Amino acid sequence: MPKVRVALAGVGNCASALIQGTVKYSESSSDTVGLLSYSLGGITPKDIEFVSAFDVDSRKVGRDLSEAIFSGMNNTPRFQEVPSMGVKVKRGPLLDGVGKYLKEVIPLSGDPEADVVKELKDSGADMLVNYLPVGSTRAVQAYATSALNAGVAFINAMPVFIASDPSWAEKFKDKGLPVAGDDVMSQIGATVLHKTLVKLLHDRGAKVEETYQLNIGGDTDFLNMLEESRLADKRESKTSAVRAMTPYPVPTRIGPSDYVGFLKNDKVCYIWIKGRYFGNTPVTIEAKLHVVDAPDSGGVMIDAIRGTKIALQRGVAGELVSLSSYCFKHPPQQLPYDEAKERFLEFVEGRRER
């Protein structure tokens, strides 16, 4: 099996969890907690190699990726030692990557900006995974354009719409490249729990009347999301996933709600649903979810990376529909979780084109 060569834009908590998990699961095939399966389409975590990375934080740029993932403001737990990777983090283009609140805590690297296209080509990357902060619209579009110009696939883990925007998907199709996204849906996260609860009420004949989802956390993702003007796409991404579970509109409010520093990378989510069932009888559901945020996305991203490699091997270009429905909150096509998983596995097995 040829290696899956991955480049990263943004070496924050998610990149840390992804790399730690990839190393962990490369070492042993007996402990596979959190992976859909050890081998997907013949690709195992051992086949994934990180070949290039970009950031703007002076505490990460210039360092080996194995050290950068534990540097700066990164505060997700260290669950795996990572040996030196021989990949130095390059200074990426800043544009709107660092907002009002992140400016206070991220010292910018003075290194010259890397030529992202050249770096992607020279490293032999198959794909670029985008982990930039919420609201980095221009920066994300710049990295997506570099992926197009370098001839690599693009996986968008955050909510600036690329795979789900038909004009961007078309650009990737024209270049013969796959694109997946947008905004990774964590394994046991707020979105999958909320959409599944709403669907349960609907499937059981109840009427959902109102719902909200409040989220708090203590990492730079939550600090950045205090800036409401950067949040429109994040709210839309999370809301659209729940909205798609009922055929009628439900008053809904979903989004990041506050930054609580001492929570570090822990995330606490409160879901509230009000509805009616037989005899117009009222029901409310209140759920509290407490997770560590970054590892919650790591296993899903390993699946997205493997699915994207399969698409590259088969010459599938443009938006990866089933993969995105399964792995992301704001895909080109919203589906209930079980249907998305079934279609993604059909794609992996070659029984579905995309």
Ligand X SMILES: NC(=O)c1ccc[n+]([C@@H]2O[C@H](COP(=O)([O-])OP(=O)(O)OC[C@H]3O[C@@H](n4cnc5c(N)ncnc54)[C@H](O)[C@@H]3O)[C@@H](O)[C@H]2O)c1
Note the residues at the interface with ligand X (CB under 6 A): 9-15, 54-57, 74, 92-95, 97-98, 106, 131-134, 136, 139, 157-158, 183-184, 186, 219-221, 293-294, 296-297
The pair of three-digit structure tokens given for residue 131, joined into one six-digit string: 């982990």
CB of 9 to ligand X, least distance (A): 5
Nearer to ligand X, 23 or 132 (CB): 132
Angle at alpha carbon of residue 173, lines to 168 and 174, rounded to 5°: 95
Nearer to ligand X, 10 or 41 (CB): 10
Nearer to ligand X, 275 or 331 (CB): 331
- Give SS3 for 65: helix
Nearer to ligand X, 10 or 21 (CB): 10
Mark 123-161 as b/e (b = at least 16 C-beta within 10 Å).
bebbbbbbbbbbbbbebbbbbbebbbebebbbbbbbbbb
CB of 157 to ligand X, least distance (A): 5
CB of 78 to ligand X, least distance (A): 14
Nearer to ligand X, 99 or 178 (CB): 99
Whether residue 182 has a cis bond before it, omega within 30° of 0:
yes
CB of 250 to ligand X, least distance (A): 23
Nearer to ligand X, 162 or 208 (CB): 162
CB of 183 to ligand X, least distance (A): 5
Q: Is residue 219 within 8 Å of residue 76, measured between CB atoms?
A: yes
The residues, any chain, with a CB within 8 Å of residue 196's CB and separated by 6 or more, are 336, 337
CB atoms within 10 A of CB 248: 7
Q: Which residue is nearest to ligand X (CB)?
A: 12
Nearer to ligand X, 41 or 72 (CB): 72
Closest CA to 191 of 336, 339, 329: 329
CB of 176 to ligand X, least distance (A): 26
CB of 271 to ligand X, least distance (A): 16
Closest CA to 6 of 346, 298, 245, 350: 298
The residues, any chain, with a CB within 8 Å of residue 34's CB and separated by 6 or more, are 21, 187, 295, 298, 299
* E strands, the chain, in order: 4-9, 48-55, 90-91, 127-130, 153-156, 178-180, 207-217, 252-259, 266-277, 281-292, 318-319
Nearer to ligand X, 131 or 326 (CB): 131
Nearer to ligand X, 14 or 177 (CB): 14
CB of 257 to ligand X, least distance (A): 14
Rounded to an integer, what distance in angstroms lies between the CA atom of residue 189 and that of residue 292? 10
CB of 282 to ligand X, least distance (A): 33
Concatenate the DSSP letters of all residues of 173-212 into one string.
Answer: HHTT-EEE-SSB--TT-HHHHHHHHHHHHHHTT-EEEEEE
